[in-house]
Amino acid sequence: MEKKFMKYLLFGVFTFVFSVAFVGCGEDYDSDISDLKKANSDLKTQLESAVSSLTGTVNSLQSKLDGIKIPNPVDEAALAEKIKTAVDKDLLTSIREDLQTLAETVESLGTGSGSEGEIADIQTKLEDVSKAIGSLEAVVDGQTPGINDAISALNEVKDALLKNIPSETREAVSSWAEIIEFYTEEITKLVKQQKVLAGYLAGYGGTQTVKGDINSLTEQLESAINGLQEQIDTITGGTGGIPTPDPDDVKTALNELLAEEGTTWEDLIATIKGVNPGLVTLEEQIHEIINNLITGVKLISTPATFAYLNIPAKYTYPFGEGSTAIQFTEGKSVEGLTTSVLLQVFPANAKKPDGSSIYLVDGKGNDDINSYFKEPIVKDYSGLDLAVTKAAGAIPTGLYEVVFELDDSAYAANPKAFGDLIKGAKFAIAVKTSVSGEAGADRYLLTDFVPKISYTDATVYKPIYSVYSSDQEINFTVGDKTVSELPNRFPNTNSVSEYVWAVGSKYNPTTSADKVIAANDSRVTLTPADFEPNKEFTVTLLSNADKAYAFYIGLDLQNATSSESLLWQKAGAITGINTVYKIITDVATSKQAKIKIADAALDGQNIGFRVYVINQDGTLVDPDGRAFYIHNGKTTTTGTTLDFTLKINKGTNGALPANSDILDAGTALDGIEFNSYTLTIALKNYSDGATVQQTNATILAYDKLSEGTSGTFASGATNHHRYLAIANLRASLLQDDGIQNGVLVLKDGTTEVKKYNITIKKVLPQANEWPTDVSVVYKDNGNITLAPNFVANSGEKVVGAVIKDTEILTTSLPANVSLSLIDPEGRYAPVVSAKATTAIASNNSGTSITTDTDVLYINSREAVAANPQYIGQLKFTYKGVRYGGGNVEVQKTEPPLLVKFDIAKLFDYSVGSDLNISLGADNKAYAIFQIQRIFYGGGTGKIAAEVFENITKAQLAKFYNVDNLTGQLNITGINPLNAANGVVSPITSFTSAAAALNLKVVDFFNDGEIRAESESILSPTDKGLKDNIAAIIAHNTALTKDFDSLLVTTIVLKSSEVEITLKDVYGTNHTVKESIGDITIPFI
């Protein structure tokens, strides 16, 4: 025992170095120095400088040591290597030099100061530190004996020493140096006792026997003191402490120390009692410790949070059946405001702690939180949670259940202060003990700081519910599959539905008024998970169900057949059902239920279960729970893989479920006897990545590799099973790239016969892949010329034009087809077909528009006037065919579609009312005029405000050939006049008939002004006019008399008009005329 005891002391050196020697050494010595009286100022300055230097180097060392983590158990070589790596020997040498300087300075400072005692104390401490440095240097030099033993005993050493220090002193004691100081004082008390005995002996006049006993006692006491002092000296040389072995070991160890002096502890005690029975002996203290005193406490189990839930139930309702059922009573909280922990005290046979001695304390030592709790209740531990059976005479375990009950009235009086105390705090369990015989010697033993405290009442409690159109809240896994991967039996032929709560319901579990059908939870086509008979499988709650209060697993009896119900409910057939589990946030196992199918009669059967979950306020998360099915039996054999293709090439592929292409399965299904099947296609939800199932997909069988000849697929016959297709596929759930996987299971009744892995590849349409079932035909083979139907504003001015879709197409637009017109030069925005919102009366030669007619509205006056040759775009949108519901748009490219307005019905043209005609000396007519235009039909009807406007050469050139303009001057007849302006007649061979003079455009300016000249009037091309001019000339030449009345001096071109011929860009001629009245021309 002595060797063990000494070993603890010897190897405590290292821990002392790590945790004591350098903590605040500068501060301690500075405090002592400041208390020195009569200090020499110069020496004091030197001393402060030395302390400052030492503090800096010591702090540097301390920071390095703090980084060393000491594992348990300790690898001696590894720990030594860590110390050697962290600590620079030069730094230790520097500290030793600083210590020497400080010691010398202190010695000088103390000379003649009258403070020799204080100086000696400081010097002793300096020597202690120097010894500690020496110990550390030994480690750095590679001397690493017994570190494992030292570290493993260290905590027991320190705890034992602390536990024997009175509580009022212990609060100020934390480091090894302070512990050693306390025990040094205790030894001093023994020394004083020895001196008292010596004095008593010196004056003793009794018998020699008694005096001899006292002498012997004194010698023994001195020996004990010297022995203890020797141990203290060893400790202060680099120190550890005395570990806490078993109390009997303590007593034995002390006996071994005294044995060296030839005595025993019992002899020493007996002698002291014989001399002075009133003395308080160390044996009495030791017996007090052994028999009553708790020397250590430990938390064996505790919730991470003391979660106090004061939530009254909304309804009276029993949850579950049997011994684990939970009864909810309206207005009452199902849980009392209590939390229990399992506490172990040391030694195990120590006195049972009283509730009044147990407290909660936070990391700052604050115990104000206890004012909100009733006195803890301490119960003997029953051993239910740990495999402990406490028979009569069993060895004590020191285990106690401690119940902490919140005082709700105290909380209600000051909830804010309570909240401030628990905010962010962790708490330890403190047990108050006292040293017998010492008044006020209370001390506290603390567990680790583990639990937090929370309080929730009905005002902030948030229950969870599965509500219609929202997410399902009862989510769980069965083995490695989620509930969304497992089937239920909804919908089914029995008209039994799955339910969720209606929006805005009261969630009353005692009535069905608030429940509605869970339309989004149909999983009837999925395949049950396989589990081996007579082996447990685990159901584990997932978020958010794990935030509820309790759950249990029942059977899906509402969907079971009569025979299934009998088999499932047979006693012992299925274990783990109908057991209610309370959900504890931080305890994973509280969210699990283990189920086993034990009855062989259920082998190969599908079995349905239902998970029920309840909130703390007595409301059900889901009105009827959530069902799932598993298969209890062997794995079905798997046939060859069947590869299907879903080609998106029909207009209905996206809007409606689509069928895959027909697959020739060959002989894959030959010889298989079955009468039903299940088809499972596992997909990834595009919104959250979760696994979902393609629902309602079915298998079709065909007699031939063509549609329209589907055969039966519901019997064991081998015909009709070769050519297969999958119906009701949803393209939006199939990945755009890659392969989707699934399983086809053939069944005989409920027994699986054979499985086939299937693949599905989706093929999206190409950019110009028009759907095969959508027909669109253009009028005029796609080369459309039509009259515009002008749209006017309230001021009767043109603001646009509309075109009926049916002016371009032979029928109305099919669904998902769009028609637009694109300006190839990009000057004007595309025109997209849409429904007319108002009726538009016809004008020009365009047709009238009624409300809701599909029209193309060109909403720009400028675009109408420019009349670009629009390129028509006809597009089809495959809706919802991309993964996630996206669309694919394709364009019809053959034949091309071209759309323009008829130029002749777009504008009226004029040469302008400002036409100027003059006659040149060369007998030619010269015309100056400006080309003008007006929207066709302008000035009347709904566009009555339109007027002729000048246009530029460039504007005219958009529609007409401006480089080849021709014209003529038209007349209705000629009147020959004499000098008195009288009509001269008769003239031989003269007939006043209509005629025309040719005009030639000689200038066409950019602003639109045109200058033209006619042929000579005296030599016109027009034969009639030419003959008349010749007749007038002959008439004048032949005159011999009556010149005043018969000589023609002037001719009048009657009712003249200028006519310009325009040839459009498409090769069609258009004429423009302007009347100018009679033209009088001199004629000689």
Which pLDDT score, from 0 to 100, does residue 200 have?
43
3-state secondary structure of 422: helix
Same domain, 34 and 181: yes
- Tell me the pairing of strands 1069-1082 and 1050-1063: antiparallel
Cβ contacts of 575 within 8 Å, gap of 6 or more: 595, 596, 598
Q: Are residues 938 and 1045 in the same domain?
A: yes
* Alpha carbons 581 and 579: distance in angstroms, whole number: 6
Co-location of 920 and 896 in the same domain: no
Tell me how many degrees the CA angle 214-219-220 measures, rounded to the nearest 5. Answer: 95
Domain for residue 770, yes or no? no
| Cis? peptide before 303, omega within 30° of 0 | no
Cis peptide before 986 (omega within 30 of 0): yes
Q: In this structure, which amino acid lies at residue 1079? A: I
Alpha carbons 343 and 446: distance in angstroms, whole number = 11
pLDDT at 188: 54
Residues 583 and 617 in one domain: yes
User: Looking at the structure, do residues 626 and 676 belong to the same domain, yes or no?
Assistant: no
Does residue 769 form part of some domain? no
Last residue of a domain, one of 230, 265, 291: 291
| Residue 888 shares a structural domain with residue 944 | no
Indicate the residue type of 374.
K
In the beta sheet, which residues pair with residue 319?
A: 326
The C-alpha angle 447, 450, 456, rounded to 5 degrees, equals 130
1008: alpha, beta or left? (left if phi > 0; alpha if psi -120 to 50):
left
Residue indicated by tokens 């029209």: 855
Residue 1076: C-alpha distances to residues 975, 1014, 1055 (Å)? 16, 15, 7
440 and 549 co-located in one domain:
no
Give yes or no for a contact between 897 and 778, defined as CB atoms under 8 angstroms apart: yes
Cα–Cα dist 735/689, whole Å: 12
- For residue 150, being part of any structural domain is answered with yes
Count structural domains, the chain: 6
Which amino acid appears at position 527 of this protein?
T
H/E/C letters for each residue in 679-737?
A: EEEEEECCCCCCEEECCCCEEEEECCCCCCCEECCCCCCCCCCCEEEEECECHHHCCCC
Residues contacting residue 40 through CB under 8 Å, at least 6 positions apart: 108, 109
Residue 771 placed within a domain: no
DSSP 942: G
Residue 462, domain member (yes or no)? no
Q: What is the structure's pLDDT at 360?
A: 95
Q: Which residue ranges of the chain lie beneath pLDDT 70?
A: 1-165, 167-292, 383-394, 434-441, 492-495, 634-635, 653-657, 682, 684-696, 701-721, 750, 842-847, 1084
Per the structure block, which two tokens stand in for 526? 């999925």
Buried b (16+ CB within 10 A) or exposed e, 633-650: beebeebeebebebbbbb
What is the chain's length? 1084
For tokens 């969907």, the residue is: 559
Residue pair 703/762 in contact (Cβ under 8 Å)? The answer is no
pLDDT of the residue at 396: 85
- Report the CATH number that the domain containing residue 703 is assigned in CATH: 2.60.40
Please name which of 585, 577, 586 lies closest in space to residue 612, comparing C-alpha atoms: 577
- Residue at 452: amino acid letter: K
Beta bridge partners of 582: 550
User: Is the distance from CB of 181 to CB of 36 less than 8 angstroms?
Assistant: no
8 Å CB contact between 501 and 509: no
The reply to whether 287 and 300 lie within a common domain is: no
- Check: pTM over 0.75? Answer yes or no: no
In this structure, are 792 and 921 located in the same domain? no
pLDDT in tens, 452-481: 998 888 888 889 998 887 777 899 999 999
Same domain, 34 and 97: yes
Same domain, 657 and 738: yes
**487 neighbors 631 (Cβ within 8 angstroms):** no
Query: For the chain, first and last CA: distance in Å?
Result: 164
Residue 1035 contacts by C-beta under 8 Å, 6 or more apart in sequence? 976, 984, 987, 988, 990, 1046, 1048
Q: Write down which residue in 457, 488, 503 finishes a domain.
A: 457
Using the 8-state DSSP alphabet, how is residue 480 labeled? T
Q: Quick check: is 449 in a domain?
A: yes
For 1066, the token pair is 């498409």
- Asked whether residue 772 is domain-assigned, the answer is no
Residue numbers of the domain that contains 710: 642-763
- H-only helix segments in 276-323: 282-291
Q: What is the dihedral of CA 190, 195, 200, 206, to 10 degrees?
A: 80
Q: Is 78 in the same domain as 187?
A: yes
Q: Which of 901, 933, 955 is the last residue of a domain?
A: 901
**pLDDT score, position 209:** 44
Residue 1008 within any structural domain of the chain: yes
